[in-house]
Amino acid sequence: MIFGIPREIPPFKNTPEYRVGFSPMAAKELMLYGAKFYVESKAGEGAGFPDEDYEKAGATIVYSKEEAYRRADIVLKVRRPQQEEYPYMNEGQILMGFIHMVTARKAFIKTVQDKKMTIIGYEIMQNEDGRLPVVIPMSEIAGKLSVQIAGRLLESPGGGRGILLGGIAGIPPAEVVILGAGTLGCNAAKSFAFSGANVYVLDVVRDKLDSLVCQTSGSRITTMFSTKHNIEKLLKFADVVICAVLEPGKRSPILITKEMVSSMRPGAVLIDFSIDQGGCSETSKISPSGQFIYTVDGVIHFCMPNATTLVARTATHTISSGIYPFLKILTEKGIETTLKENYALKRGIYVERGVIKEEYKI
C-alpha cells in the first residue's frame, strides 16, 4: 500500500495550519507491514517533524505536492484539500482526513465524483459500540485546550473582562458555560473546574450529565438540561461560553441567538468548537479573510475551525494513533476487503468510487 502525505495548505490567509496527516513514528511502524510513504518536503515541519525524521523512518521525501498525490493509493490529510490541490487528485484514489462534507465547496464534490474517488471522513468513522475513534481523542485535546484559549482571551490587553479564571481568596472565579457534555465538553468542564472556575454544563441527554457528575463528584460543576430558557439565563452572567455540540456528518444546531449574545457581559468570551460544522451560535462565522478572533456586541468570539493546530505536535500524534489500526488493516488485507469488512471505515465513507452516500447528499 502506498500512502501520500502532502503538506497542509491553510484554509484561509489568517488561519494557520501546522498539523500533518501522519507522524514519522507511525509511518515507521506501518512500513513494517509493507507500506510505502511519499511525503511532501516540509509537510511535518510545523508539527516539529523535519524531513530527516521521515527519511530515518524509511519514507521518501518528494519536492512537489503533485508527486505526493500522484504516487499514492491513499492520501492522508488533516483537512479537506484546498482548491489548488484538486488537479492532483487521482482517478479512483482514496482520500482520508477531516472532510466535513456539509461545508465542502461544490467544486470539491464535483471533482471527487468526476474522478470516482473514495472519501473517508475521520469525523464520521464510528466503531460498533458507537465510539468515534479519531474524533474522541481530538475532542479531548480541544476540551483541555479551551482553558488555555479562554484564559488568554479574558486578559485585559485583548479587550477581555480582565479576570482570572480561578479567582483568588475574596475575589470570585470566572463563570463558565459549556454547551454539550460529550468528550470535548466533559474535558473542558474538568479542566475549567480544576482551574477554580465555576462551571455549568448543559446537554439534552441525561446519561451524559449523569456520567459527568459521577466523574467529577465534589467539583465546581453544575449540570443542567439544555433548554432555551436555561441557555438564556446562564449566558447573561457567563464570562466564558464553550460550544461543544457535535452531530456527526450534519450541520451543528443553532443554540445561541444574536439576542442571547447581545445580552452577555462586555468582554465575555465565546469559543465555538462546532464552527467546522457551521457553528452553534448565530454570530459564529468563518471570515473570508480567516480572521477567527473577532468581537460582536462586545463579546469576543473564537471560531477557529482547526483549533487543535495550536498544539500541532500533540494533535498529529493523536490523529496518527487514531487511524493507525485502520491503515494497518488496509495494508495487510487490501482496500476492497477492508472497506467491505471493517465497520468503522465503512461508516466513515462519504463518497465511494464517486458516488455520494444518500445521507450525505447536500
Residue positions annotated with a catalytic role: 100, 276
CB proximity list for 133: less than 8 A, separation 6 or greater: 125, 126, 127, 322, 323, 325, 326, 344
DSSP string, 57-102: HTPEEESSHHHHHHT-SEEEEEEPPPGGGGGGPPTT-EEEEE--GG
Q: Is the dihedral of CA 188, 20, 123, 37 positive or negative?
A: negative
Backbone phi, psi, residue 26, to 5°: -70, -35
Total Cβ atoms within 10 A of residue 282: 15
Where helices occur in the chain by DSSP H, the ranges are 24-31, 51-57, 65-70, 106-114, 135-153, 183-195, 206-215, 228-235, 258-262, 312-333, 335-341, 343-347
